[in-house]
Structure 1
């Protein structure tokens, strides 16, 4: 008789999901599934709208990565309207996007990941949260985290009106210029972000890498998964967030693909499995081979994958950290929990890059938009979101109304690998029918390292959604139940 353990809801992530673990009679793990149980539908209800509305709509897909969707939509609209933004506009966009990377990565590390490493994976769940983290690190660290987030979110708000759900992405540019008066506080924020990035990395080295138990956990085979890696790179194969080509390396680090974002459909295929409401992706040239590790068909995105896919970082301090990570773990690294380390390295590059951009003379140019529109009918915007490579693909009619939309987000790329990571962790830590809560948390740590965004990941599904409606009178008495299977 098969026994099932369900972790529902899974914790410390954006969205709603569950994990089903199936045990045999002896209590050994037969299988495990990571399941997404929600549906959004942005790709459907945006059809027929003017394309330029997308930068106001897609930031509302979720509250965790709105700037990534906003920027991908802005870049897609550049192509739809056939315009290249001026240099100042690109600098302003990159300034905002780096600020978003910084604040987003620290939300994940300090609020979602740190409870497992600072408080401990087996600690009381009531303490395994941000308050437990601050109790061990001190309130001054919490104040620094909040201050860096606040200051970088002010850059986002200043450029695109709002930090939670930015607006103002325009085809061909940005809505407002940076003044010389703005430059001073932006420089101060960039410099403070760089200082904090170095602090956060040293904290990770001291409290995580310096703890033999945690280092052993990072290196545990349960938290390793051999897949290909995908990320956005510049002309020198360095990590880039805003613009570049998509590069894919195999399990051994050999380049197998490098392509422009507009060509993604030639290389990436999508499929839906009956047990999940998230579309899984795989490399077309390898073909779907099921949920199999080391097949070459599955690939990962996210911070560690983008470092694997690149030959280096684009800034000097981040490059030194990149070298140290791979010197200790090997390249490519397949250590799932090392994503937290890579995440902090990416935040460091974003801070370094903003120190450069903040001092660029052209940042304050008044030439911030190109209005020489030529409607092309299609645009693909690709950015490296904090969680990995993000594609926005729009098609329009001759009036600029949307006729087709396809979004491939980071959590879709990672969906199949997350399932495999969860299964490997479950098989390592669950033996017997008496399963401790700490063991289940260690299983959750396998998916949490990816920082999945489930609201972003579920957009379209064939068929119909199950539906149950309860009709009650004014006193709450159930009158009738309507169901659609």
Structure 2
């Protein structure tokens, strides 16, 4: 085998969590395997045991400071079941939905404009010092300003519904603990026209980028897979807050459809592998080899029948037309899908703000206690499952969480391998810009590694090159 090539790589930056990449070479020095390892563990599913049921929606959102509302609401939905509530009062249901749309909007805006757009605006090969939000603000000040104000709007919606912008307390078992004051509603409505215009402008930006670079997008870490998401009961529309489970094959045909999410454990199996603390879920009937699937914005575009807001639905149709109306498999298509969902959230927020139920006073329902509760929601990064059991003393005895990045684990690893094969097969010398492409592929999933593994800390990355005999021939680590 020839001498190992020097690998210069930055950590997987502009994501949340802590990971390691290993690239395995065969006897001829070609890439045989590439893996994204998640190497920290915090055991959140264990230490939630013994906590009281009404504490859970507040505690579990400490998993993350980026998408706490998703955990807050998934846990609240599970606790609704445990306190025997099958249907929330209209005010509670709509306040939670408003909170969720604010969360999805602000998270998508943060990821696209602050974390992903430097790669798109300046190029994958741009110097590392160029690929950051400060350079975006310097060269595209109006774009940067709008991104900041759009995220602020989403956070203002969260604060109005949850009590705080981060780690709020609005959702409680059986309902909500506040309604929306008229003056708060009016302040948000004053901004909604700007939000819609700016969401459309952002969507045009990623649409134009994709169409201009369509061959590259379709060839960059693009591979067929199955997809899974919630869809609205009955008509299969996009519903980020509630619905039934649908999984489709790479051609869009159904694997299962309108499955009550309380039965998730009948169709999904969580596999484990020795080299990662993050599990590898798969669809049981297809087995671990063929049953892996993807979730997230692009998956939702591929699984739903339509979007019930007109501007976002037209944009989804245009996205799918890039693959003749069939599911779109290009990992970079997630960015286009994210901006479609930002527009959808703005449309839904507008509708809800005009709904007088938000000023209602019937906030909490009651029912007959149960032992088991499951809450499922479409978080910004994809499907999120919370499953709890609670004893007669109101204490949690069991907790299982399947977060979006866990669902995407196999897809993330395949994306890393696809880019590594291309990068190491064409150049005798690896540049930092080329290896940024590995990060670009990972970043397209908007992974939250600390959610998936319950890790604590920043995002350093350790990269190892391993030869066919298992020897580490090159290693590089850089702290965030």
Q: Same fold (TM over 0.5)?
A: yes
Counterpart Cα distance in 1 of 2:264 and 2:8: 36
| Unmatched runs of 5 consecutive residues or more in structure 1 | 290-294, 461-485
RMSD: 1.8
Matched, 1:114 2:114: no
Please name the residue that 1:68 is paired with.
Answer: 70
Residues 143-154 of structure 1 correspond to what in structure 2 (within 5 A)?
A: 143-154=145-156
Q: TM-score, normalised by structure 2?
A: 0.90
Return the alpha-carbon distance in structure 2 between the equivalents of residues 433 and 275 of structure 1. 29
The structure 2 residue matched to 1:435, chosen from 408, 430, 433, is: 430
In structure 1, C-alpha distance between the alignment counterparts of 2:55 and 2:404, rounded to whole Å = 23
Aligned partner of 2:250 in structure 1 is 251
Q: Deviation of residue 425 (structure 1)?
A: 1.4
Q: Compute the displacement of 1:210 (Å).
A: 5.2
Q: Which residue of 1 aligns with 2:222?
A: 224
List runs of 5+ in structure 2 lacking aligned partners: 456-480
Q: Provide the C-alpha distance between the structure 1 equivalents of 2:51 and 2:333, rounded to a whole number of angstroms.
A: 42
Structure 1 segments (4+ residues) deviating >4 Å: 1-8, 24-27
Cα displacement (A) at 1:322: 0.5
- Secondary structure at the counterpart of residue 37 of structure 2: strand
Distance in 2 (CA, whole Å) between partners of 1:194 and 1:253 is 30
User: What's the offset of the Cα at 1:429?
Assistant: 2.2
Which residue does the alignment assign to 1:16? 18
Q: Confirm whether residue 385 of structure 1 aligns to residue 379 of structure 2.
A: yes
Q: CA deviation at 1:433?
A: 4.2
Aligned mate of 1:176, from 175, 178, 183? 178
* Aligned residue pairs, count: 448
Q: Which has the higher contact order (CA 8 A, sep 6+)?
A: 2
Indicate yes or no: 2:358 matched with 1:363.
Answer: yes
What whole-Å deviation, never above 9, does each CA across 1:388-414 have from its counterpart, x for those lacking one? Answer: 000000101112210000000000100
Counterpart Cα distance in 2 of 1:310 and 1:429: 35
CA contact (8 A) 1:134 1:142 kept: yes
Question: Secondary structure of the residue that 2:318 maps to in structure 1?
Answer: helix
C-alpha contact (below 8 Å) 2:9/2:436 kept by paired residues: no
SS of corresponding position for 1:407: strand
* Aligned counterparts of 2:223 and 2:119: Cα–Cα separation in 1: 20
Residue in structure 2 matching 1:195, options 192, 197, 204: 197
How far 1:459 sits from its partner (Å)?
A: 4.8
Separation in 2 of the partners of 1:437 and 1:407? 36
> Are the equivalent residues in 1 in contact too, given 2:302–2:328 (CA < 8 A)?
yes
Aligned partner of 1:53 in structure 2 is 55
Give distance in 1, aligned partners of 2:182 and 2:14.
41
Instruction: State the alpha-carbon separation in 1 of the partners of residues 48 and 211 from structure 2.
Output: 49
- After superposition, the Cα gap between the structure-2 partners of 1:6 and 1:390, relative to the gap in structure 1 and judged at 3 Å, is farther
| Offset, 1:179 | 2.4
Structure 1 residues 19-70: Cα deviation after superposition (integer angstroms, max 9, x where no partner): 1112346553221001111112111111011111111111110111111001
| Correspondence for 2:409 | 415
- 2:329 matches 1:334: yes
* 1:285 alignment partner in structure 2: 285
Which is further off, 21-30 or 95-104? 21-30
Aligned partner of 1:469 in structure 2 is: none
User: What's the secondary structure of 1:375's corresponding residue?
Assistant: coil
2:202 touches 2:339 (CA, 8 Å); kept in 1? yes
Cα distance in 2 for residues equivalent to 1:36 and 1:265: 24
Distance 1:319 1:135 in 2: 33
CA shift for structure 1 position 225: 1.5
Deviation at 1:189, TM superposition (A): 3.6
For 1:448, the equivalent position in structure 2 comes to 443
Match of 2:210 in 1: 209
Q: Secondary structure at the match of 1:317?
A: helix
TM-score when normalising by structure 1: 0.89
Per the TM alignment, residue 373 of structure 1 is displaced from its structure 2 partner at its CA by: 3.5
Q: 1:433 to 1:23 in 2, by over 3 A?
A: farther
Give distance in 1, aligned partners of 2:390 and 2:215.
52
- Deviation per CA, 1:248-302, whole angstroms, max 9, x where unpaired? 001110011121111100011001100111011000111112xxxxx3x110001
Matched-pair contact (CA < 8 Å) for 1:110–1:130: yes
